[in-house]
Amino acid sequence: MAIYLDCNATTPVEPAIVDEVVRFLTDEYGNSGSRTHEFGNRAKHAVERARRQLGEAVKSKPEEVIFTSGATESNNLAILGLASYGRQNNKRHIVSTQIEHKAVLEPLGFLESNGFEITLVRPRSDGFVDPEEVRSSVRDDTLLISVMQVNNETGVRQPIDVLAELLADHPAFFHVDAAQGFGKETTSLQNERIDFISISGHKIYAPKGIGALVARRRGYSRVPLQPLMYGGGQERGLRAGTLPVHLIVGLGMASELAFCDHETRASANLRFRQDLLIGLLPLDPIFNGDPELMLPTTVNISFPGIDSEALMVALKNDIAISNGSACTSQSYEPSHVLSAMGIDPQISRGAIRISWCHLSESPDWIAIANKIKSLL
């Protein structure tokens, strides 16, 4: 059976989290909105505990945590939810980057078709976005700056800390899509200058279908978001619908474990990376993105002369990998991320992404390398 190495698409669920999620499905199944009995009260307390766990991870108040279905919904709420405020205050300019996930780029495209102006900053050839270039794109009428924490295809970390400092003197809102970095890179999201943080549970060993948007207050003022759907008033009126208590409990526990176990996990991931590099470096792969800037859980590499589809087929019984974002894996079009980096189309067509975690088993990299060599 192939070893799963596509953790940037989704991670396995941590065993301890499985147990807790199942408990809230089978025993503690109350509705957190039911206040007339103990089943509802226990569910409510569980949700509030998860809210604290997630808030503590990014040094935010529990009431600033809004539970959503995942980072895609969180991104949409942060971007589209500001549109009304932007129109009312004549701030219709947004700055982002060309390497954002489609869950950011497509909402931005929707706003552009409805009268907003969007500036997308191009990355360097190593996958890094220059924070000075982002800052120089900001204008007096800029409503929002949205820059991801870690790129999902290359694993390259972006300069969130530096950008937060550069934006200290500007009133525009700052949004970070942290789907790939939350719980893996532990400090940059704690910067109070970040107004919005999008989080996905299934990228940090929690179940699919749960995420959060951290919406920090500025002083005593709530951020001027408008909900995307109505009907119930849950989550401070910003996200209607009965809360999935079992999933929220899983996300809360995942958030706490990610920070408590950070050093142990990081060590395991670095060992895995070292084994991978020892096995594959003799083949002279091309790294798409600066390896020094990548999280220790991802590599994006190409082997000149080998198409990524052919490579994945050849290795399908050994390792489960991808050639880009899971959200666009049905498409054989070149990666918009690698294209923005200026990667040669021939190299881009051969790019594969290998992504792992502390739960990953290390394959026989020598055998993998021999199979790759046979395709050259």
Give the pLDDT of residue 185: 86
- pLDDT for 175-187, tens place per residue? 999 999 999 987 8
Q: Do 255 and 273 fall into the same domain? A: no
Whether the per-residue pLDDT at 365 is higher than 80: the answer is yes
Q: Do 240 and 365 fall into the same domain? A: no
Mean pLDDT, the chain, whole residue set: 95
Question: For position 101, which CATH number holds?
Answer: 3.40.640.10
Q: Do 189 and 283 fall into the same domain? A: no
Distance of CA 310 to the CA centre of its chain: 28
Q: What is the DSSP string of 25-89?
A: HHT----TT--SSHHHHHHHHHHHHHHHHHHHHTT--GGGEEEESSHHHHHHHHHHTTHHHHHHT
Counting the structural domains of the chain, the total is 2
The closest alpha carbon to 177, from 194, 164, 193, belongs to 194
Dihedral, 83, 87, 93, 98 alpha carbons, nearest 10: 20
- pLDDT for 27-76, tens place per residue? 999 999 898 999 999 999 999 999 999 999 999 999 999 999 999 999 99
What positions carry a catalytic annotation? Answer: 327
Are the beta carbons of 40 and 242 closer than 8 angstroms? no
pTM of the entire predicted model: 0.95
Q: Do 112 and 219 fall into the same domain? A: yes
Q: Do 75 and 92 fall into the same domain? A: yes
Q: Do 205 and 237 fall into the same domain? A: yes
Cα–Cα distance, 279 to 283 (Å, whole number): 8
Q: Do 101 and 147 fall into the same domain? A: yes
Sign of CA dihedral 60, 65, 70, 76: negative
Are the beta carbons of 357 and 7 closer than 8 angstroms? yes
Joined tokens for residue 156: 């390259």
Query: Where a domain ends, among 198, 229, 260?
Result: 260
Q: Do 144 and 183 fall into the same domain? A: yes
Give the pLDDT of residue 325: 59
Cβ atoms within 10 Å, residue 19: 10
Query: Where a domain ends, among 228, 260, 292?
Result: 260
Name the residue with higher pLDDT: 231 or 124: 124
| Domain limits for position 339 | 3-11+262-375
Question: For position 364, which CATH number holds?
Answer: 3.90.1150.10
Dihedral, 10, 16, 20, 22 alpha carbons, nearest 10: 70
- pLDDT for 209-239, tens place per residue? 999 999 999 988 888 999 999 988 899 999 9
Q: Do 338 and 353 fall into the same domain? A: yes
Q: Do 281 and 241 fall into the same domain? A: no
Q: Do 181 and 277 fall into the same domain? A: no
Q: Do 254 and 279 fall into the same domain? A: no
Are the beta carbons of 57 and 43 closer than 8 angstroms? no
Query: Where a domain ends, among 237, 260, 283?
Result: 260
| H, E, C per residue of 124-158 | CCCCCCCHHHHHHCCCCCEEEEECCCECCCCCEEC
